[in-house]
Amino acid sequence: MAFSIITACKNCGTKNRIPAAHLTDMGRCGSCKGALSPVDEPIEVDSAAAFDEIVSSSKAPVLVDFWAEWCGPCRMAAPTVHALAHELSGRAVVLKVDTEALQDLALRYNIQSIPNFIVFRGGHPAFQRAGLASQGEMRRWITLEP
């Protein structure tokens, strides 16, 4: 089954399914036809298949935060990552990948220290950096052209 997220309409409360290719698009509620905003928070990916579908189908840049629960710096970066997802809603997708749960993805991208951030454009890695960064620095990674 294709990846999608479920979001509730702010007007009527109806749950709507948003496919991976439309995470940065404005949508319409299937029930009341009210506006559905683009995703504005980090998406916690639970499988490599979901990760691959989002990264390959996104029309906008995708920032991936590779992290782990036990990692103090990762916990410190989380509020910044969340704020950036809200700020760049409709212009970028932000994913979180738990390196403990999805070790195959960590291996695929040679993640040796966390937090580790990769920006994908057109389904391919365009930038990678380990360590804490400010919201402004992360924004530059995403908004700069390759």
pLDDT at 144: 77
CA distances from 97 to 43, 44, 50, 62 (A): 9, 6, 11, 12
Q: Would you write out the chain's pLDDT as a tens digit for each of its 146 residues?
A: 588 899 999 999 999 999 999 999 999 999 999 999 999 999 999 999 999 999 999 999 999 999 999 999 999 999 999 999 999 999 999 999 999 999 999 999 999 999 999 999 999 999 999 999 999 999 999 987 54
Residue with tokens 């979180």: 96
As annotated, the active-site residues are 71, 74
Residue ranges of domains in the chain: 4-36, 43-143
Query: Which amino acid is located at 11 in the chain?
Result: N
- Neighbour-count burial of 142, counting CB atoms closer than 10 A to its CB (0-12 exposed, 13-18 middle, 19+ buried): buried
- Does CATH place domain 43-143 in 3.40.30.10? yes
pLDDT at 146: 47
